[in-house]
Amino acid sequence: GAGGGLGRAHALELARHGARVVVNDMGAAAEDVAEEIRAQGGEALACIADVTRSEQVDAMVARTLAAFGRVDILVNNAGILRDKSFAKMSLEEFRLVLEVHVMGAANCTKAVWPHMQEQQYGRIVMTTSSSGLYGNFGQSNYGAAKMALVGLMQTLSIEGQKSDIRVNCLAPTAA
């Protein structure tokens, strides 16, 4: 989810600090952000990988390792909305949001975890939301997915300690 919004901001800021950035998104916006980073003198690689498909994520990580040699930071920011009251929402709409947010983060984390363990270093950030923490009308699927990421973060932060893999969540909100 680095083609726009918060993910784009993460990619640009990391590049500004000298990180070599892999910009993943589901469309042409990934190349646009990567080009923007390169135009500012940074190093960036654009990928179009569906985070719900572990084979695509594995290929993205392999491409990253071939280009840059290691993965130090993973920002799990992929997400979609399918807002509707719970009474009107289909289980497929509920499942799809969980699949992108939760399984997308799990697939990406699983793909980089052994590399971070081997190098004894890694930083993983999950994007959660106040909709998960406090609830929001019409976002039962989104709220459930965002709270699942908090639980995943809590457990991975414990499991990653011995390999200096730190895992955190950001819960951006605006008024």
Q: One-letter amino acid identity for 116?
A: M
Q: Is 18 helix (H, G, I), strand (E, B) or coil?
A: coil
Question: CA 21, CA 117: separation in Å to the nearest integer?
Answer: 20
CA angle in degrees (0–180, nearest 5) for 81-175-96: 10
Question: Catalytic positions, please?
Answer: 142
Q: Is 79 exposed, middle or buried (0-12, 13-18, 19+ CB in 10 A)?
A: buried
Nearest to 101 by CA among 64, 126, 72: 126
